């Protein structure tokens, strides 16, 4: 079976439009969460989020800004970075051998609510002719496909907060099946609005720690009270080792295995026994031909919800056993990028292996007793071969685990 390597990385997040910047911020334990200091948030019970502060007009022209949902725009920014980072702007691969797999959790929510306003004020005859192509959930993938000229296929997996990770898993499948040599894969999300925050808040899913934004995302801390919504996009270039070798590309890491499962339990709540989560991790280990003792680091899904963090900790312990594996939740710094989270955390896992450093889980002032080794400060990883897991779970009971190693990294 083909070995799949990562040859390009791209990101836009609350820490800016640079992989180095997000890695440095997470490594140093900074928070990307802030107060939403805008009139539209005044009536919301939740007034904190991790916003992208970059002016997108640096990358997206005026016409495209009007026609594309913000989620698609963010995906294009990250994809352009990843494509160039992989040297593909120079190497110009055969479009028939390039595929795209980019997911989003929700889709073009801002477009939907903007057009709803127009519908109410001016009637259906004034809806933008670009409404459908902006809000559909395959729009970011399709836009990235147009940008890179992908003709093998364009996929847009939708599995809530597991979308970004599932997109990577699907990309790995396509490469292994020989359907493409290069897959541009990842996720994007832009739902920080009255509607987006209001809807998640009404579920009781979001932290209401409005008075201390940077302390709001606190996985495994006893005082946690929900996740913090962030926005952004993260895109990776996945490539067969033979393709990467043939064009002399730099390889960051290997995606050694993928594991997908479904809880079959509840729409919102994870199975308290965590069996689905365990299955996803177990499948990833088997697929990667790794033993549980090989795993030195887990970038957990842990979003800072009361039940979710505990269940995942138990599930990790059940799969990895009594190990000194270093577990961290980078969502403590970045917040939860929903459909982009799995892709961002894969990038951060790659960086952790490259730098042999597990970033800290910040705000862990009063840790809940858990059967795993949570890093509350940056923790060095051992020498030699390294293998890590990154988990992503989504409403609907979607569980995705990716196994990343430093094999073939150069």
Partner 1 sequence: MTKEEIQTKFVDIVNDVTGLPKEQVQPAKSLTEDLKIDSLSMVEIIYACEDEFEIAIPDDAAKSLTTVQDALDMIEGHLAQSD
What DSSP designation does 214 have?
A: G
Shortest distance, position 74 Cβ to partner 1, whole Å: 21
Shortest distance, position 135 Cβ to partner 1, whole Å: 14
Shortest distance, position 213 Cβ to partner 1, whole Å: 37
- Nearer Cβ to partner 1, position 53 or 126? 126
- Nearer Cβ to partner 1, position 62 or 120? 62
Q: Are 168 and 343 in contact (CB under 8 A)?
A: yes
For residues 250 and 226, give the distance between their C-alpha atoms in angstroms, rounded to a whole number: 39
From residue 314, give the alpha-carbon distance in Å to each of 125, 238, 318, 346, 362: 54, 31, 6, 21, 20
Task: Specify whether 408 is catalytic.
Answer: no
From residue 396, give the alpha-carbon distance in Å to each of 200, 259, 322, 384: 14, 17, 30, 38
Task: Specify whether 161 is catalytic.
Answer: yes
For 268, residues 6+ apart whose C-beta sits below 8 A from its C-beta are 203, 395
Shortest distance, position 54 Cβ to partner 1, whole Å: 21
What DSSP designation does 369 have?
A: P
Task: Specify whether 296 is catalytic.
Answer: no
- Nearer Cβ to partner 1, position 61 or 324? 61
- Nearer Cβ to partner 1, position 60 or 228? 60
Residues found near partner 1 in the complex (CB under 8 A):
61-63, 126, 128-130
Q: How many CB atoms neighbour CB 123 within 10 A?
A: 9
For residues 406 and 348, give the distance between their C-alpha atoms in angstroms, rounded to a whole number: 13
H-assigned helices in 203-340: 241-246, 275-288, 306-320, 331-334
Burial class (CB in 10 A: 0-12, 13-18, 19+), 1: exposed
- Nearer Cβ to partner 1, position 132 or 223? 132
- Nearer Cβ to partner 1, position 1 or 63? 63
- Nearer Cβ to partner 1, position 92 or 121? 121
Q: Which of 161, 296, 325, 401 is catalytic?
A: 161
For residues 147 and 89, give the distance between their C-alpha atoms in angstroms, rounded to a whole number: 11
Burial class (CB in 10 A: 0-12, 13-18, 19+), 377: exposed
Shortest distance, position 63 Cβ to partner 1, whole Å: 4
Shortest distance, position 121 Cβ to partner 1, whole Å: 13
Q: Which of 155, 297, 336, 398 is catalytic?
A: 336
Q: At what angle do helices 306-320 and 275-288 cross, to 10 degrees?
A: 40
Q: Which of 301, 325, 398, 401 is catalytic?
A: 301
What backbone phi and psi angles, to 5 degrees, belong to 132? -65, -50
Shortest distance, position 132 Cβ to partner 1, whole Å: 10
Shortest distance, position 129 Cβ to partner 1, whole Å: 4
CA angle 5, 9, 15 (to 5 degrees): 145
The neighbouring-strand residues paired with 197 are: none
- Nearer Cβ to partner 1, position 128 or 373? 128
What backbone phi and psi angles, to 5 degrees, belong to 181? -100, -25
- Active-site residues, by number, are 161, 301, 336
């Amino acid at each position: 079976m083909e070995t799949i390597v990562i040859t390009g990385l791209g990101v836009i997040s609350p820490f800016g439009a640079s992989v180095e910047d997000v890695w440095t911020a997470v490594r140093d334990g900074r928070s990307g969460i802030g107060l939403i200091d805008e009139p539209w948030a005044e009536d919301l019970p939740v007034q904190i989020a991790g916003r992208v502060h970059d002016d997108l007009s640096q990358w997206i022209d005026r016409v495209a800004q009007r026609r594309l949902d913000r989620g698609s725009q963010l995906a294009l920014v990250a994809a352009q970075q990843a494509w160039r980072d992989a040297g593909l702007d120079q190497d110009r691969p055969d479009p028939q051998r390039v595929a795209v797999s980019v997911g989003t959790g929700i889709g073009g929510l801002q477009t939907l609510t903007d057009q709803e306003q127009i519908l109410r004020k001016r009637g259906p005859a004034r809806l933008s002719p670009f409404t459908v192509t902006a809000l559909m959930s395959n729009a970011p993938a399709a836009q990235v496909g147009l940008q890179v000229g992908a003709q093998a296929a364009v996929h847009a997996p939708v599995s809530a907060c597991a979308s970004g990770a599932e997109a990577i898993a699907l990309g790995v499948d396509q490469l292994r099946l020989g359907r493409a040599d290069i897959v541009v894969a990842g996720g994007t999300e832009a739902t920080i609005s009255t509607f987006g925050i209001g809807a998640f808040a009404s579920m009781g899913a979001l932290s209401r720690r409005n008075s201390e934004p940077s302390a709001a995302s606190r996985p495994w801390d006893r005082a946690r009270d929900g996740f913090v919504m962030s926005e952004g996009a993260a895109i990776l270039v996945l490539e067969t080792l033979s393709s990467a070798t043939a064009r002399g590309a730099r390889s960051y890491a290997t995606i050694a295995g993928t594991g997908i499962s479904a809880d079959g339990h509840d729409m919102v709540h994870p199975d308290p026994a965590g069996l689905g989560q365990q299955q996803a991790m177990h499948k990833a280990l088997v697929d990667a031909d790794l033993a549980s003792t090989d795993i030195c680091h887990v970038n957990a899904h842990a979003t800072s919800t009361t039940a979710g963090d505990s269940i995942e900790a138990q599930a990790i312990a059940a799969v990895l056993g009594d190990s000194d594996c270093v577990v961290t939740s980078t969502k403590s710094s970045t917040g939860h990028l929903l459909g982009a989270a799995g892709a961002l955390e894969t990038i951060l896992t790659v960086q952790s292996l490259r730098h042999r450093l597990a970033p800290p889980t910040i705000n862990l002032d009063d840790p809940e007793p858990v059967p795993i080794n949570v890093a509350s400060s940056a923790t060095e990883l051992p020498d030699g071969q390294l293998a890590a897991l990154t988990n992503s779970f989504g409403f609907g009971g979607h569980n995705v685990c990716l196994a990343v190693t430093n094999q073939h990294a150069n």
